[in-house]
């Protein structure tokens, strides 16, 4: 209600007061809240990594260079003068800005962030500050970012530029990854200069250029503050400060928060208490890499967007166009599939708020406050076998329940204690994610379904686990739900699992788990300061209830239990539920 009033005041002021508005509303909504408003509503953006590295596309002198393609100059230790030669043949004649923007829009994205200069130091825009730019140094001779800015303007989509402010491998004063370890740049011909020479000579002037010449950017996306100093950061921040409506991220200088934080290549297990945006690749590399076929499925990507929205964050999903200027076909297919889903279900994403639930075993929830209640969007990933969807622990008055994609179909429901049971149609209209809309009247009270000590034990279902996968590596995933839920594909020894749970009583607990293991492995289990090492013996393909050991829990309240492989003793296991039994 309070928010609604503030909005009303704002609207009235906007209409009636003209230029005076800013001053008068300052006390109501902060400047930061104002510039973040569209971004919080948008939820979904396109990241584009495009530069000279698209040409080698992960291969140098006939050799496949491991790692992300935009890092090829560093990974293959290519001398500056040699890498520079790529510009002489960079000619993306198939580039069509309008087509890229239409694709992003079709996918349901509301903004685009593109690399204006990555760590290789090459400017993808016209620059007076450095001739090492696409207009002056390539046969292409066009400014693709100008064309993109025009297309964004035409199609009403917001635009941001990525600018690698610290790392610049092309400049004597630019930083590089291991500069903080005191290691030298790989190219001995690059005679080092102080950082501020580069900051004042190139970074500051170029940032001025991108902020002045493209009709005003909505976002400035800094990256990897390696080797940054406060002096350098202040010089760049002073330029950004000239554009108070522009949003910046938290990567200019390590302690500075910017407007939003940037989990990279992973989704945080719960919402963060600050605006946040996950940046994520569709395959492994950001820049185009011709032999990177490690594509995430459309299903994974749609569910990831929903997962992020259910925690109150944004998703910036990446594509790496080719040196010809085309977005690779697998990326186009995925963007179109997401778009198809968003066309029907976008209402459950844009401008929504985080889920009021701790966890929902069958999917996710996003919500929206209305004038007289709350609208819940229930995202059903796993269609329940008995066609009864259990919404745990809510107390409210239900107004109306329907399928989002089919407005005419009203669904019946009843309460069983505090659980709302919704009667679903016989089969899922959308196997990836069917959205059910629950409109409630009055306020909504949710009792947390966080696992807790009850009947002498704490049950930690596999589908309540937070899976911490490494950004670059093999990902463990959840398969099935309810009693069938399993963590599978847990082969990478860096993957760890965490559960939140609650106990009001300390004590000694026996840790049991449902495990299947082809070979023996070792695990480390930790709660607070207490740690337990457990050995798992081969079970064959059968799931077996296994005792992992005992652990003392000396604290109470909301706690986290983590399970991680012992690096050198890991052969991969599959895991069902974990149970802590009080002795």
Please, what is the minimum distance in Å from the beta carbon of residue 319 to ligand H79? 13
Q: What are phi and psi of 464, to 5 degrees?
A: -105, 0
Binding mask 37-76 for ligand H79 (x = CB under 6 A): ------------x-----------------xx-xx---x-
Contact code string over 455-494 relative to ligand H79, x by CB under 6 A? ----------------------------------------
Residue with tokens 């964050």: 313
Q: Both tokens of residue 161?
A: 């530029």
What is the smallest separation between the CB atom of 70 and ligand H79, expressed in angstroms? 5
Minimum distance of ligand H79 from residue 552's CB (angstroms): 37
- Residue 60 vs 362, nearer CB to ligand H79: 60
Q: Which two tokens stand for residue 103?
A: 């694709």
Question: Given the complex with ligand H79, which of 60 and 177 has the nearer CB atom?
Answer: 177
Question: Which pair of structure tokens corresponds to residue 373?
Answer: 């209640």
Structure tokens at 181: 């370890």
Q: State the nearest-atom distance from the C-beta of 448 to ligand H79, in Å.
A: 35
**Residue number with CB closer to ligand H79 (67 or 356):** 67
Q: Which residue's CB is nearer to ligand H79, number 70 or number 430?
A: 70
Closest to ligand H79 by CB, 69 or 521: 69
Query: Whole-number minimum distance, CB 142 to ligand H79, in Å?
Result: 23
Q: Lay out the site mask for ligand H79 across 233-272 (x = CB under 6 A, - = otherwise).
A: -------------------------------x--------
- Binding of ligand H79 at residue 346 (CB under 6 A)? no
Based on CB atoms, which residue is closest to ligand H79, 328 or 363?
Answer: 328
Q: Which residue from 91, 224, 395, 520 is in contact with ligand H79, where contact means CB under 6 A? A: 224
**Residue where the block lists tokens 């409630």:** 440
Rank residues 70 and 326 by Cβ distance to ligand H79 and give the closer one.
70
190: closest CA among 88, 83, 79? 79
H helices within 125-216, ranges in order? 134-137, 144-155, 195-198, 204-213
Instruction: Read off φ and ψ for residue 509, nearest 5 degrees.
Output: -125, 140
**Residue-wise over 400-410: b if at least 16 C-beta within 10 A, else e?**
ebbbbbeeeee
CB closer to ligand H79 out of 71 and 464? 71
Closest distance to ligand H79 from the beta carbon of 266 (Å): 12
Q: Which residues pair with 488 in a beta bridge?
A: 477
The tally of CA atoms less than 13 A away on the side-chain side of residue 329 is 1
Q: Which of 143, 168, 223, 430 binds ligand H79 (CB under 6 A)?
A: 223
Within residues 74-103, the interface with ligand H79 by CB under 6 A covers: 75
Residue whose CB is less far from ligand H79, 289 or 364: 289
For residue 502, give the nearest of 441, 546, 449 by alpha carbon.
449
Please, which residue, 142 or 226, has the CB nearer to ligand H79?
A: 226
- Cα(151)–Cα(112) distance, rounded to whole angstroms? 11
* DSSP annotation of 463: G
SS3 32: helix
The three-class DSSP label of residue 577 is strand
Q: CB 359 → ligand H79: shortest distance, Å?
A: 29
3-state secondary structure of 120: coil
**The one among 279, 282, 317, 435 contacting ligand H79 by CB under 6 A:** 279
Among 118, 42, 111, 43, which residue's Cα sits nearest to residue 86? 118
Pairing of strands 466-468, 496-503: antiparallel
Sign of dihedral through CA atoms 533, 537, 541, 546? Answer: negative
Residue 485 beta carbon to ligand H79: minimum distance, rounded to whole angstroms: 32
Q: What are the residues whose beta carbons fall under 8 Å from the beta carbon of 503, sequence distance 6 or more? A: 452, 453, 458, 553, 556, 557, 559
Site for ligand H79 in 383-422 (CB under 6 A): none
The interface mask with ligand H79, positions 176-205, x = CB under 6 A, is -x----------------------------
CA 373 to chain centre: 29
Instruction: CB nearer to ligand H79: give 221 or 501.
Output: 221
The pair of three-digit structure tokens given for residue 38, joined into one six-digit string: 């569209």
Which residues between 281 and 300 bind ligand H79 (CB under 6 A)?
286
Restricting to residues 103-162, name those near ligand H79 by CB under 6 A: none
Are 412 and 420 within 8 A, CB to CB? no
Query: Shortest CA distance to 268 belongs to which of 312, 237, 316?
Result: 312
Report how many residues bind ligand H79 under the rule CB under 6 A. Answer: 12
Nearer to ligand H79, 67 or 507 (CB): 67
Contact between 434 and 383 under an 8 Å Cβ cutoff? The reply is: yes
Within 8 A by CB and 6+ apart from 173, the residues are 192, 193, 194, 195, 196, 197, 198, 199, 201
Residue 211 CB, nearest distance to ligand H79 (Å)? 20
To ligand H79, the closest distance from the beta carbon of 146 in angstroms equals: 22
Site residues for ligand H79, window 504-543 (CB under 6 A)? none
CB of 250 to ligand H79, least distance (A): 13
Which DSSP category does 203 fall into? I
Residue 503 beta carbon to ligand H79: minimum distance, rounded to whole angstroms = 38
Find the shortest distance in angstroms from Cβ 286 to ligand H79.
Answer: 4
To ligand H79, the closest distance from the beta carbon of 263 in angstroms equals 11
Q: For residues 106 and 474, which CB has a smaller minimum distance to ligand H79 in the complex?
A: 474
| Token pair listed for 32 | 């930061």
Sequential DSSP letters for 410-434:
E--EEEETTEEEEE--SS-S-SS-E
Based on CB atoms, which residue is closest to ligand H79, 67 or 205? 67
Per CB under 6 A, residues contacting ligand H79 are 49, 67-68, 70-71, 75, 177, 223-224, 264, 279, 286
């Amino acid at each position: 209600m309070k928010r609604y009033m503030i909005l009303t005041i704002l609207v009235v002021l906007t209409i009636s007061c003209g230029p005076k508005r800013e001053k008068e509303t300052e006390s109501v909504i902060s400047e930061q809240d104002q510039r973040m408003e569209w971004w919080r509503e948008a939820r979904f953006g396109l990241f584009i990594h495009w530069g000279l590295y698209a040409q080698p596309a992960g291969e140098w002198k006939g050799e496949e260079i491991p790692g992300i393609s935009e890092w090829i100059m560093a990974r293959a230790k290519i001398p500056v003068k040699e890498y520079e030669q790529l510009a002489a043949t960079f000619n993306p004649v198939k580039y069509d800005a309008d087509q890229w923007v239409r694709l992003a829009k079709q996918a349901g994205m509301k903004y685009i962030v593109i690399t204006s200069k990555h760590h290789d130091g090459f400017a993808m825009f016209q620059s007076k500050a450095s001739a090492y730019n696409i207009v002056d140094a390539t046969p292409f001779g066009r400014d693709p970012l100008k064309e993109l800015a025009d297309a964004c303007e035409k199609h009403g989509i917001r635009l941001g530029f990525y600018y690698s402010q610290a790392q610049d491998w092309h400049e004597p004063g630019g930083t590089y990854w291991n500069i903080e370890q005191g290691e030298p740049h790989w190219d001995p011909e690059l005679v080092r200069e102080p950082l501020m020479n580069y900051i004042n000579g190139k970074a500051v002037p170029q940032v001025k250029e991108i902020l002045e010449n493209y009709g005003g950017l909505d976002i400035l996306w800094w990256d990897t503050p390696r080797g940054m100093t406060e002096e350098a950061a202040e010089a760049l921040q002073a330029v950004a400060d000239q554009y108070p409506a522009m949003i910046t991220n938290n990567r200019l200088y390590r302690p500075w928060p910017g407007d939003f934080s940037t989990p990279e290549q992973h989704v945080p297990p719960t919402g963060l208490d600050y605006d946040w945006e996950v940046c994520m690749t569709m395959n492994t590399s950001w820049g185009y890499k011709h032999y990177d076929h490690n594509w995430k499925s459309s299903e994974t990507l749609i569910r990831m967007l929903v997962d992020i929205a259910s925690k109150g964050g944004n998703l910036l999903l990446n594509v790496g166009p080719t040196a010809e200027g085309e977005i690779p076909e697998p990326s186009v297919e995925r963007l179109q599939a997401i778009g198809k889903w968003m066309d029907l279900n976008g209402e459950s994403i844009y401008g929504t708020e985080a889920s009021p639930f701790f966890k929902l075993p069958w999917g996710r929830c996003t919500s929206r406050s209305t004038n007289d209640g709350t609208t819940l969007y229930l995202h059903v990933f796993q269609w329940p076998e008995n066609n009864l969807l259990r919404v745990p622990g809510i107390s409210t008055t239900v107004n109306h329940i329907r399928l989002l994609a089919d407005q005419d179909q009203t669904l019946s429901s009843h309460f069983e204690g505090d659980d709302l049971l919704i009667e679903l149609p016989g089969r899922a209209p959308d196997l990836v994610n069917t959205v059910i809309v629950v409109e409630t009247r009055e306020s909504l009270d949710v009792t947390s379904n966080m696992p807790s000590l009850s009947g002498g034990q704490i049950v930690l279902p596999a589908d309540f686990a937070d899976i911490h996968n490494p950004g670059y590596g093999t990902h463990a995933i959840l398969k099935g739900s309810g009693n069938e839920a399993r963590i599978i594909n847990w082969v990478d020894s860096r993957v760890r699992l965490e559960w939140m749970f609650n106990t009001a009583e300390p004590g000694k607990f026996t840790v049991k788990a449902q495990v299947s293991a082809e070979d023996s492995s070792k695990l480390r289990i930790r709660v607070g300061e207490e740690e337990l090492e457990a050995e798992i013996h081969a079970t064959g393909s059968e799931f077996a209830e296994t005792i992992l050991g005992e652990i003392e829990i000396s604290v109470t309240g909301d706690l986290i239990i983590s399970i991680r492989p012992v690096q050198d003793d890991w052969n991969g296991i599959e895991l069902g539920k974990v149970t802590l039994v009080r002795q």
